[in-house]
Structure 1
Amino acid sequence: MQYPSTKERGVVLAFCLVLLLVTTLLGVAAMSTTALEESMTQNERDQHTAFQAAEAALREGERYVKSQATSPTIFPGSFSKTCANGLCFSRENTPNYDKTKSPCETGGISDRWDMWSCPTSHSGNLAVWTNAKRHRSHANTSLTNSKGITTLPKYIIEFMGYQDITRDELYRITSFATGGTDDAKVMLQSTYHLSF
């Protein structure tokens, strides 16, 4: 009867431990990949939700312009340089606008919708998205419950002026929305041309 060599003792145990370690590492890698994919999917869904909310606010702004502008020069009288109730003169139509100055320079005026270029403390930045008196919120308050949106989408309407020959009115509507978290932000714009 032959006995196994003493050199071979424990080799199977060492092999099994290495195999167990490799299997564990593969399992952990698969779980972290799945968690990353799930996070990416949630972020994409969040961005899509924010886009849909901004689109809804943009369309509501267009409907508002169409319903208010019943005859020439009536609706433009509702606009102000301080964006009261979300109705603004565009930067170019603001009294004392100096186009030679940059928006963040002293005396400069940033675009009404622009919340990133100049600090909110700058006098030319009206902070329309953070000041409830300077924007309009989407009328459908159930959006926050039914669609998973954290904050109602907002919009402003800027009077851009009159077209040269026809005197048709031009408006720029800008909407801003977040998704299920405030990290997903979407801003959309449309130019609305109104003929009488």
Structure 2
Amino acid sequence: MKRHNRGALPRARKLSSQRGAVLIVGLVMLLLMTVVAMAAMRGSEMQELMAGNMRDRNLAFQAAEAGLREAEEVLNQAVLPSFDGGVAGYYVEIDGSRNTGYWNTHDWDVDAVETDLELDRVAAPPRYVIEEITATAATGTDGGAIDFQSTLNQEEIVYYRVTSRGVGGTANAVVIIQSTFKR
């Protein structure tokens, strides 16, 4: 005896009437998830680059700070070097050096002192320049307002401007810092 499944015939008709809408919806969802994943990867790559640049700049800042401290140690010595320009890195105030843009064009390889610091993960050792600056100040005797008599009492004050340049892990990360030092 042969039995026929009565439900088989209508089921076959249902399958033939399907149009594949689920497949299309699934492919669109897969495409959207791929786009979201690519955006997330691109974002994390950008954050990794920013973190690397921040680390590189921090290394450059720390190197410049170390150079600044070494220059200040020179100024703490009992005998100072000559500031007549005979030795590179030790100058009387350089024309234009008060402008911040000057130090970007300064020839650091020739006109600066290279430190002997052995710093890890930096592309070049820090360098510094020390400028001797003489200023004239009026000295008042009673601390009151400046009058004609107090302008006659003038005193020359000598202080030093120390400019240090540090390089980070790559030559593109450069930090220049300054301090003012009075003995």
- TM exceeding 0.5: yes
Number of the residue aligned with 2:96? 110
Number of the residue aligned with 2:133? 160
Q: Give how far 1:8 is off.
A: 2.9
Number of the residue aligned with 1:51? 61
CA distance in 1, matches of 2:42, 2:158: 55
Q: Residue 80 of structure 1: which of 56, 80, 84 is its match?
A: 84
Deviation track 1:33-78 (CA, whole Å, cap 9, x = no partner) reads: 11001001001111111111100000100001111x54xxxx37x1
% identical aligned pairs: 34
Return the TM-score normalized by structure 2: 0.75
CA distance in 1, matches of 2:40, 2:135: 60
CA distance in 2, matches of 1:24, 1:46: 33
- Residue identity in the other structure for 1:190: S
Q: Give how far 1:111 is off.
A: 1.6
Q: Residue 149 of structure 1: which of 122, 145, 160 is its match?
A: 122
The structure having more radius of gyration, on CA atoms, is 2
3-state secondary structure, aligned to 1:23: helix
Q: Which runs of 5 or more structure 1 residues have no equivalent in the other structure?
A: 92-108, 121-126
Number of the residue aligned with 1:8? 18
Q: Which runs of 5 or more structure 2 residues have no equivalent in the other structure?
A: 1-6, 138-153
Instruction: Tell whether the 8 Å contact from 1:163 to 1:170 is kept in structure 2 after alignment.
Output: no
- Report the count of equivalent residues: 155
CA distance in 2, matches of 1:41, 1:14: 41
5 Å matches for 1:1-196?
1=7, 2=10, 3-4=13-14, 6=16, 8-67=18-77, 69-70=78-79, 75=80, 78-81=82-85, 84-91=87-94, 109-111=95-97, 114-116=102-104, 127-131=106-110, 134-140=111-117, 142-143=118-119, 146=120, 148-161=121-134, 164=137, 167-194=156-183
Cα RMSD after superposing both structures: 2.3
Q: Give how far 1:182 is off.
A: 1.6
